[in-house]
Amino acid sequence: MAISSFHPPVRTLMGPGPSDVHPRILSALGRPTLGHLDPLFVGMMDETKELLKYAFQTRNELTLPISAPGSAGMEACFVNLVEPGDKVLVCVNGVFGNRMIENVTRCGATAVRVDFPWGSAVEPAAVEAALKEHGDVKVLAFVHAETSTGALSDAQALCGLAKKYKALSIVDAVTSMGGVPLLVDEWQADAVYSGSQKCLSCTPGLSPVTFSDAAVAAIKARQHPVQSWFLDMNLILGYWGEGGKRAYHHTAPVNALYGLHESLVMLQEEGLENAWQRHASMHNALAAGLDVLGIQFVVEEGQRLPQLNSVYIPDGVDDATTRQFLLAKYDLEIGAGLGDLAGKVWRIGLMGYSARMENITLLLKALAAAMTEQGYQCSGEQAVTAAEAALK
Ligand SMILES: *Cc1c(COP(=O)(O)O)cnc(C)c1O
């Protein structure tokens, strides 16, 4: 068999990420590759750091993209802040809280978990009670936007609790950045990581991170070297440090960074507030349409992520059949449920460039067609009318 070039179809991506990549970003990726120490490329790296400060709403000097996906950003925060013997309080309300526990344990530290029902936000009062009970907690870690369930937690309150109890905060903002308010300095968050393929609508594989002065001081005061060579911020900083004085660490993914730079330029052009507003209004339109289809949300109103909509699969409708139908007939991807929610829910993403009316119209029509095939009574046209009315 002769294997030849791969030509994927154009799909509409409305799952938990990656989201649709904007054509401007796709074309940036194909620009000429520069050497990673070329002064022009170094200038672009400096711009990327500035643009990331805007996206994170921070003045933190240590703000840069890790050359690896969101999970590596998570790991960078844990391996740099957590040392063997430390106690870390982890809030778990979905898949990514569990992944944080894995990180803590592998750092040789003790994870104290505070569990919340999947589909609910983290409850600050319960976190405060645990902080009081355990006293010497070094780090409080939580997921701002739980993509596995669609719940949004109060990051401001949780970062405030960390400060009150003299702990550092680690915040998973992979899905929140660009989709809902994320104010790193105002909330006094200490170590925050994100991802390129969610509301930034860039290709997967890069993880913006930012560290506060308190986090940097904790890294400098470590008793043990960071166990990961690749993710040691002391070394990464030498590579991403101020223009001119670059020490080779690894070869930056040059073209991937063109894509991230372009996505951040687009975010700056749109304006953060406008991007948050767009996600909120698209969510309202989608919710109005889904309501007409008789589809219910998993997360209660007020805790819902606009960019990730977890909804119950109606009785008599099959999960896999529906998702296969959407992919085969409409080139449309939505997400499946995870863990206890597998087979019971769909996760409909409205992230970044995917958060637009054209996608919502397609989804409502396609979903209605898929469910009608299975004997479920509904009207895609009426759902689209309701979604359009909600936008006005
Ligand atoms: C997607 C996601 C991650 C992991 O990012 P990858 O790029 O898949 O490694 C971590 N946390 C949350 C909340 C996410 O949505």
Q: Which amino acid is at 71?
A: S
Spatial separation of the C-alpha atoms in residues 333 and 374, rounded to whole Å: 19
How far, in Å, from the CA of 174 to the mean position of ligand 1? 6
* Contact 97 CB / ligand 1 (< 6 Å): no
* Contact 17 CB / ligand 1 (< 6 Å): yes
135 Cβ contact list (under 8 Å, min separation 6): none
* pTM exceeds 0.75 for this model: yes
Which atom from ligand 1 is nearest to the alpha carbon of 16?
A: 15
- C-beta separation of 392 from 299 below 8 A: no
* Contact 174 CB / ligand 1 (< 6 Å): yes
* Contact 96 CB / ligand 1 (< 6 Å): yes
Sign of CA dihedral 27, 31, 33, 34: negative
Which atom from ligand 1 is nearest to the alpha carbon of 175?
A: 15
* Contact 349 CB / ligand 1 (< 6 Å): no
Which atom from ligand 1 is nearest to the alpha carbon of 196?
A: 7
First to last CA, the chain: 55
Q: In what order do the strands lie in the sheet with 62-66?
A: 62-66, 207-211, 191-193, 168-172, 139-143, 87-92, 110-115
Judging by DSSP bridges, how do beta strands 332-336 and 345-349 pair with one another?
antiparallel
* Closest protein CA for atom 12 of ligand 1: 174
From the list 91, 95, 197, the residue with the least C-alpha distance to 150 is 95
Sign of CA dihedral 310, 308, 354, 254: negative
How far, in Å, from the CA of 17 to the mean position of ligand 1? 8
Which atom from ligand 1 is nearest to the alpha carbon of 146?
A: 13
Which atom from ligand 1 is nearest to the alpha carbon of 71?
A: 9
Sign of CA dihedral 6, 351, 349, 182: positive
Spatial separation of the C-alpha atoms in residues 349 and 1, rounded to whole Å: 38
* Contact 143 CB / ligand 1 (< 6 Å): yes
Using most ligand atoms within 8 A of CB, pick from 174, 176, 206 the residue to mutate for ligand 1.
174
Using most ligand atoms within 8 A of CB, pick from 19, 66, 96 the residue to mutate for ligand 1.
96
Helix ranges (DSSP H) in the chain: 23-29, 39-56, 70-81, 95-106, 124-134, 155-164, 184-187, 213-220, 233-240, 254-270, 272-292, 319-330, 357-373, 380-391
From the list 369, 378, 387, 388, the residue with the least C-alpha distance to 295 is 378
Spatial separation of the C-alpha atoms in residues 239 and 242, rounded to whole Å: 9
Using most ligand atoms within 8 A of CB, pick from 13, 66, 67, 71 the residue to mutate for ligand 1.
71
Grouping H, G, I as helix, E, B as strand and the rest as coil, residue 158 is: helix
Using most ligand atoms within 8 A of CB, pick from 100, 147, 200 the residue to mutate for ligand 1.
147
How far, in Å, from the CA of 39 to the mean position of ligand 1? 32
170 Cβ contact list (under 8 Å, min separation 6): 77, 78, 81, 100, 139, 140, 141, 142, 190, 191, 192
- Determine the pLDDT at residue 242: 57
- Determine the pLDDT at residue 313: 98
* Closest protein CA for atom 6 of ligand 1: 70
How confident is the chain (392 residues) per 10-residue block, as mean pLDDT?
95 98 98 95 96 98 97 98 98 97 98 98 98 96 98 98 98 98 98 98 98 96 96 90 75 97 98 98 98 98 98 98 98 95 97 98 98 97 98 90
Please give the annotated binding residues for substrate, written as ranges: 347
CB burial of residue 114 (10 Å; 0-12, 13-18, 19+): buried
- Determine the pLDDT at residue 241: 76
**Which residues make beta-bridge pairs with 345?**
312
Q: How many residues does the chain have?
A: 392
* Closest protein CA for atom 14 of ligand 1: 174
* Contact 70 CB / ligand 1 (< 6 Å): yes
328 to each of 130, 291, 320, 324, 332, how far by Cα in Å? Answer: 48, 25, 12, 6, 8
Judging by DSSP bridges, how do beta strands 62-66 and 332-336 pair with one another?
unpaired
How far, in Å, from the CA of 272 to the mean position of ligand 1? 21
- C-beta separation of 283 from 274 below 8 A: no
SS3 content of the chain, % helix, strand, coil (to 5): 45, 15, 40
* Closest protein CA for atom 8 of ligand 1: 70
Domains in the chain: ranges and CATH: 23-268 (3.40.640.10), 272-391 (3.90.1150.10)
